[in-house]
Amino acid sequence: MPYVEIEHVTKKFGSDVVLKDINISMEEGRVYGICGNNGSGKTVLMKCICGFLPVSSGVVRVAGEVVGITVDFPESMGVIIETPGFLMNLSGIRNLEILAGLRGVISKGGIRAAMEQAGLDPDLKKAVSKYSLGMRQRLGIAQAIMEDPRLLVLDEPFNGLDKHGVSDIRALLLELKKQGKTILLASHNSEDIRILCDQVFEMDGGRIREL
Residues 199 and 128 in one domain: no
- Percent pLDDT > 90 in the chain is 87
Residues 49 and 68 in one domain: yes
Q: What is the pLDDT of residue 122?
A: 96
Q: Which of 145, 83, 89 is nearest to 120 (CA)?
A: 145
List beta partners, residue 66.
61
Q: Does the pLDDT value for residue 88 go beyond 90?
A: yes
Whether 153 and 79 have beta carbons less than 8 Å apart is answered as: yes
Q: What is the pLDDT of residue 105?
A: 82
Q: Which of 172, 179, 208 is nearest to 30 (CA)?
A: 179
Q: What is the pLDDT of residue 1?
A: 81
Is 162 contained in some domain? yes
Domain's final residue, options 114, 130, 148: 148
Residues 195 and 98 in one domain: no
Q: What are phi and psi of 70, to 5 degrees?
A: -85, -25
Residues 124 and 194 in one domain: no
Residues 50 and 7 in one domain: yes
Q: Does the pLDDT value for residue 16 go beyond 80?
A: yes
Residues 181 and 94 in one domain: no
Q: Please give the sequence-ordered ranges of beta strands (E in DSSP) within the chain, or none if there are none.
A: 4-13, 16-26, 31-35, 57-62, 65-66, 77-80, 151-155, 182-186, 199-204, 207-210
Residues 69 and 112 in one domain: no
Whether 31 and 198 have beta carbons less than 8 Å apart is answered as: yes
With bands split at pLDDT 50, 70 and 90, how would you rate the model's confidence at 82?
confident
Residues 153 and 69 in one domain: yes
Q: Does the pLDDT value for residue 22 go beyond 90?
A: yes
Q: What is the pLDDT of residue 104?
A: 78
Q: Please give the Cα distance from 183 to 107 (Å, whole number).
A: 24
Whether 210 and 200 have beta carbons less than 8 Å apart is answered as: yes
Domain's final residue, options 116, 148, 180: 148
Residues 47 and 103 in one domain: no
Residues 3 and 66 in one domain: yes
Q: Does the pLDDT value for residue 83 go beyond 80?
A: no
Q: Does the pLDDT value for residue 102 go beyond 90?
A: no
Q: What is the pLDDT of residue 38?
A: 85
Q: Please give the sequence-ordered ranges of beta strands (E in DSSP) within 43-166, or none if there are none.
A: 57-62, 65-66, 77-80, 151-155
Instruction: Average the pLDDT over 73-80 and give the result.
Output: 94
Q: Which domain holds residue 173?
A: 1-76+149-211
Q: Please give the Cα distance from 3 to 178 (Å, whole number).
A: 16
Residues 91 and 132 in one domain: yes
Residues 65 and 8 in one domain: yes
Q: Does the pLDDT value for residue 84 go beyond 80?
A: no
Is 20 contained in some domain? yes
Domain count, the chain: 2
Q: What is the pLDDT of residue 190?
A: 86
List beta partners, residue 152.
78, 183
Quick: pLDDT tens for 142-167: 999 999 999 999 999 999 899 999 99
Is 32 contained in some domain? yes
Rounded to two decimals, what is the model's pTM? 0.93
With bands split at pLDDT 50, 70 and 90, how would you rate the model's confidence at 188?
confident
